[in-house]
Structure 1
């Protein structure tokens, strides 16, 4: 889409910047990376009242233009470099109306870069509720920029903000907040003359950040370094002097424009809730109770829609076999593609419920409390509080969680977090766990409240977190670094979840899961069906010849004979040969050659296990008696012992393997991309495979 104006959204974390971005752009947005770095770039498009289209760029949240992480460094790079492809025509600075003093520091820095600015004064509804009275007109007059009061969560003031963007000045009109030249007058003048810069604050920022700015040449950076030494410039002292001057100006500004209640406010509701939810004992009990409720709900609430989806796929397979002429293409479609897809599609309700809970916990502000609570525990095992965000995010997917470790400044803390995040149970493992648990754990309640299947699932999630913490503790002594980590985080106030956002998050994440998994499963199902339907040499001809002899045709019932032939052909197919080749290695874990095939195919993605089982048992099954994947696995028998394949010991051995094994190609790729070295994903793959084999071996031999 061609845009007429580019608008950058800038603001502190927790000011509602992302909410405003979603409201302005709706579904018309895309996510990529900023050029040259792996930081997420969110770009969307918004229709303005005058008919023009605005390209909206959501810059990472930051408290200051002085960056402490790679994400924050993007903000100054985009705003300052006018040759940057994303350089904005206009900046909308989002301020939290309940915390103007803190927010105005970033505004004053952005304003002094002399790019046209509009202020979006967000959370006005909360400010009014707290008794904060802001003179909007006087604030706009003193700043020299339009100030638009909004409440992004309630979509109030959005039309006015779009109108302000449409009529915005093309020339910066903002008033100088401080006398920037007084901080380092000689240096600013020298840099301005050398590099032909007309903005004194831009020149000062170059003095602070020239070593990390990619738009400066090596010669320019070296010259700035030389000028710093010539004028005795000390970056930290200059930052301190600038911050003091800015807060002095902000205090004067707020004295005239903002009136807060004169009587001391009682303890806020958020603080009262935090005394319970972040308590050093009760806080952890409540968090564990929330997790238990989540996993109970995943089983109980999803059962009815899952049954409907399962029945729909069984009907579809049946219909394809009955209405289309028999042949390889129909078998490929019904027993390969449809059967494989059914194995994942049936779990959409559970995936959607999981993402709904995660979205609610994030939206209410509770997830930030979990991060805060875990900080002390994390430090003991070599991590810090910021490591909790990727670990909790790992419940959804390890890939974006590993990318989110960029906010961790300490190299050792970040590397340990990357190495252990894949241990956390992600949504791709959920179909595997729920299928196996449903096979061997009774669907009944204990103490009238707790469902046994829900408890088993909770146990798998808790095991993943505990194992991640233990492995992090081991890496604490393996990786060496003198750098000290620290943890700074602002706790947002508690808010009612935005149900529209929760629904949008459920839809978007479930769709992404289905599309990503679906592509892999269709490809794997086609390859697997071919491998399972054809064999090397004349093996299939020999099987047909064997079972066409009178001792079989006259003594064995027709249905049984068909099943015996299908079983023999599957065992002698290319897939069977592959499965049998690895069977000696996996036999100590309680796995047969069919499970071995699933272990190989699911190295592409964990959830492929379910689709593989569906395809294998469809090829091996009876075309006249099509069942759901769970029914097929439940009825599977060991040909040597006659006992069920999926016993309690085998099911839990499999779950242990999938709990620890690195079976996700996307995670391997993203670890390489974030570390820029194949050594780290190789180490990760090796230790997780050893851990998976050992845990699976112990589980099988203890439970059998």
Structure 2
């Protein structure tokens, strides 16, 4: 009969836990929430052997059994068997072989809980590259449990790990009888009394009942009994914890000396220190950071220019060719001006998105991204945040939804809420297509000193504007959100590493796929819907326009080409999309926008990048056949108002850029803020303040530059 077991994956953050989870479970995964808290619960199914299948639970990363954050409490309660829904039969502890000393603290604590545990040693390739040699048999002997080297990314060691799990499940590998440290020596009398209430628990588990029993789901009489034991025995939690950590690190030091050989660690430490002296300098550190960001945004424009021009040219030529080949009618109009226009609005921005994410991955892999958090902590504290807010905010450059969810790691509730409320002001990748089109329209394509692009500088300015406004918003809101909690910023700076180029290219491809297949679906649906709304309108109004120009053509046939163009424009204005745009035009006219831009602002609420698809559809529906081979930028550049003036002037372009920097135009972001704050209050405040801020600053910008 097939045996079903539950396996909990635990380990320090960034130890390779997620990679191992993916390797073990493949596509058999699902994501939910742990009961009562907003913390991701990833589970999956894995076949361990012919007789054993397992439910794998990927628990949040933690450094020790002394939790501080919500996600650490989730892991702690599962390990202490206090979670009613998640029960672990076997613990698989993931330990980073290149940083074993830090990982062994958590490992030793779990061993003393007396639960079945197997160690999966990851990062063996990095350890080898750093000339670190681990005596695995010696390590197993010292710990009393199995330690299996694995490389989940290359699927190495997975079969051996499954074999170790199978042996542990069949009770072939016994739980070690000896303790890692003598926990009983800390509070023998108190431990003995707790074990009378819970006869089966280990000495070390009894200590945790004494320290954290108020947080466990225990009956009231048991809570009172443990509380009385604390008083009777003068149990001191802080002193006990300090003594425990000292003893564990003393034992770990001995184990490291016996089982791990590090070649020339001083050289590496000196190299990292020398580099940090420059990159984290009080003055030059910030200059270098601005320089890195400058190169990042210059690269986005310079490297992506040729592939983007090529994609635009291809679609323009394809549209012109199809316009001449396909017979006139609604189907060819739908195919060219709906489907093809929407598709071009998606694919043209793939090069920029790939370059942006590739360079961000490069910064993360080398270890510089953590230095950015360290550098910006001082600035963050002045506006009510701390260095931990930087990672969610930097993640906001990619997408606000996962960025807001990552703010869960901020222990202080006020700082977490402030981070959530200001992160959407960071320019996400969805804004990148909008910036690109508008900057190309109104900013001259000039280079200074031969390589500094003016358009790249404006792009960088948009990102900096969002960042500055996020900090200003946090500073203002900190006076209205009250909290007495104190916060501390503790960050482990990784050693500098050579980037993994394969990982960088993999990320670029994956992000491009996500954009094309997820954002692309929304863009295509909106584009086709807009074609429908732009091509049809109230029958009576459309009939009047058609009859008007039929009459004019009969009277003055020599002007048929001119009348045909005027007819298409008037039909578009009287379509359902035109009526919608005309309705909101009085509200947005002070910002320099016309009704077509108004439609784009509305559709952008589904996803900001839909702006491009909207414009592609609106400016294609009114085209004649001979205009189908023009690019979107050419069509928008030629757009004029009823009085003959250009639509996209410098004032309008800059106003629209600022609006997209600051406005809240993302349903998904509002939904995730509601989920994270458990209230509609904060998403409504976010929608109101961001939209109001965008309107006011855009109004000022337009009037300064019109």
Q: Give the SS at the match of 2:119.
A: strand
**Structure 1 residue 496: Cα displacement:** 1.8
1:71 Cα deviation after fit: 1.7
**Aligned-partner SS, 2:429:** coil
* Contact 1:16–1:122, Cα closer than 8 Å, also in 2: yes
Aligned length: 701
Q: How does 1:460-475 map to 2 (within 5 A)?
A: 460-475=462-477
Which shows bigger deviation, 243-252 or 400-409? Answer: 243-252
Aligned to 2:403: 401
Tell me the equivalent position of 1:382: 384
Asked if 1 retains the 8 angstrom alpha-carbon contact of 2:553 and 2:563, the reply is: no
How far apart are the structure 1 equivalents of 2:302 and 2:263? 48
Where does 1:82-161 land on structure 2 (aligned, <5 Å)? 86-127=86-127, 132=132, 134-149=134-149, 160-161=160-161
Structure 2 Cα separation of the partners of residues 261 and 305 of structure 1? 46
For residues 535 and 129 of structure 2, the distance between their equivalents in structure 1, rounded to whole angstroms, comes to 68
Residues 14, 492 of structure 1: 8 Å contact kept: no
- CA-CA distance at 1:518 after TM superposition: 2.3
Match of 2:694 among 667, 692, 695: 692
Within 2, Cα distance between the matches of 1:9 and 1:701? 58
| Distance change >3 Å, CA 430–CA 554, structure 1 → 2 | same
Deviation at 1:52, TM superposition (A): 7.1
8 A Cα contact 1:532 1:616, kept in partner: yes
Report deviation, 1:486.
Answer: 0.8
1:697 deviates by: 1.0
- Deviation digits for residues 596-640 of structure 1 (CA, Å, limit 9, x no counterpart): 111111122111111111111112222443133222212211121
Match of 1:81 in 2: 81
Say whether the 8 Å CA contact 2:3–2:51 is kept in structure 1.
Answer: no
**Per-residue displacement from partner, 1:183-204 (whole Å, max 9, x unpaired)?**
3445444544445644443343
CA deviation string 1:33-62 (max 9, x = no partner):
444433234445667687976655433221
Instruction: Name the SS for the 2:627 alignment partner.
Output: coil
- Report if the CA contact (8 A) 1:116-1:170 is conserved: no
- What is the rounded CA distance, in whole Å, between the counterparts of 2:129 and 2:613 in structure 1? 53
The structure-2 alpha-carbon separation of the partners of 1:455 and 1:645, relative to structure 1 and needing over 3 Å to count, comes to same
Equivalent residue number for residue 554 of structure 1 = 556
Partner residue of 1:507 out of 506, 509, 512: 509
Q: Distance in 2 between matches of 1:85 and 1:338?
A: 50
Q: In 1, distance between residues paired with 2:504 and 2:569?
A: 47
Match of 2:641 among 607, 628, 638: 638
TM-score by length of 1: 0.91
Match 1:484 to one of 468, 486, 492? 486
User: Which residue pairs with 1:176 in the alignment?
Assistant: 179
The equivalent of 1:331 in structure 2 is 333
Instruction: Sort the Cα spacing of 1:560 and 1:155 in 2 relative to 1 into closer, same or farther, 3 A.
Output: same
Change (3 A) 1:262 1:357: closer
CA–CA separation in structure 1 for the residues paired with 2:646 and 2:103: 64
Shift of 1:431: 0.3
Counterpart secondary structure, 1:486: coil
Tell me which moved more, 286-295 or 242-251: 242-251
Cα distance, 1:275 vs. partner? 1.4
> What is the TM-score normalised by the length of structure 2?
0.91
Match of 2:211 in 1: 208
Distance change in 2, residues 1:492/1:155 (3 Å) = farther
Give the 3 Å change call, closer, same or farther, for CA 563–160 of structure 1 in structure 2. same
2:364 aligned residue (362, 365, 382) = 362
Q: Evaluate the alpha carbon distance shift between residue 158 and residue 361 of structure 1 in structure 2; reply closer, same or farther with a 3 A threshold.
A: farther
Q: Residues 552 and 563 of structure 2 are in contact (CA less than 8 Å); yes or no, is this contact kept in structure 1?
A: no
Q: Provide Cα deviations, 1:654-704, integer angstroms capped at 9, x if missing partner.
A: 000011000111111111111111111111111111110111111111111
**CA 218–330 in structure 1, closer or farther in 2 if over 3 Å, else same:** farther
Partner of 1:70: 70
Task: Give the 3 Å change call, closer, same or farther, for CA 212–507 of structure 1 in structure 2.
Answer: farther
List per-residue Cα deviations over 1:395-452 (Å, max 9, x = no partner): 1011111111111111111111111101111100000000111112222311012112
Q: Is the 8 A contact 1:150 1:158 kept in 2?
A: yes
CA deviation digits over 1:305-325, x for unaligned, max 9? 323433444455456655655
The separation in 2 between residues aligned to 1:271 and 1:612, in whole angstroms, is 51
- Pick closer, same or farther for the CA change 1:561–1:263 going to 2, 3 Å: closer
Structural mapping, 1:224-243, within 5 Å: 224-225=226-227, 228=230, 232-243=234-245
Q: Secondary structure at the match of 2:486?
A: coil
State which drifts further: 621-630 or 469-478.
621-630
CA contact (8 A) 1:360 1:497 kept: yes
Contact 1:3 1:55 in 2 (8 A): no
My pick for the range that moved more, 605-614 or 119-128, is 119-128
Quote the residue 2:11 is aligned against.
11
More moved, 111-120 vs 491-500: 111-120
Residue equivalent to 1:629:
632
Question: Counterpart of 2:340 in 1: which secondary structure?
Answer: helix
Q: Structure 1 CA distance, aligned partners of 2:504 and 2:498? A: 11
1:288 equivalent in structure 2: 290
Q: Which moved more, 1:654-663 or 1:357-366?
A: 357-366
Work out whether residues 191 and 197 of structure 1, in 8 Å CA contact, stay in contact via their aligned partners in 2.
Answer: no
Q: 1:181 to 1:333 in 2, by over 3 A?
A: farther
CA deviation vs aligned residue, 1:438-493 (integer Å, no higher than 9, x gap): 11222231101211211111111111112212222222222222111110111111
Query: Which secondary structure does the structure 2 equivalent of 1:477 belong to?
Result: coil
SS in 1 for 2:10: strand
Partners of 2:249 and 2:157 lie apart in 1 by 28
Matched residues in 2 for 1:124 and 1:344: separation? 40
Identify the match of residue 245 of structure 1 among 244, 247, 256: 247
61-70 or 246-255: bigger deviation: 246-255
* 3-state SS, counterpart of residue 281 of structure 2: coil
Matched, 1:530 2:532: yes
Alignment partner of 2:580 out of 554, 562, 578:
578
C-alpha spacing 1:402/1:221, structure 2 compared with 1 (3 Å) = farther
**Aligned pairs for 1:291-330 within 5 A:** 291-314=293-316, 317-318=319-320, 321=323, 326-330=328-332
User: Structure 2: 5+ residue runs without aligned partners?
Assistant: none
Query: Which residue does the alignment assign to 1:439?
Result: 441
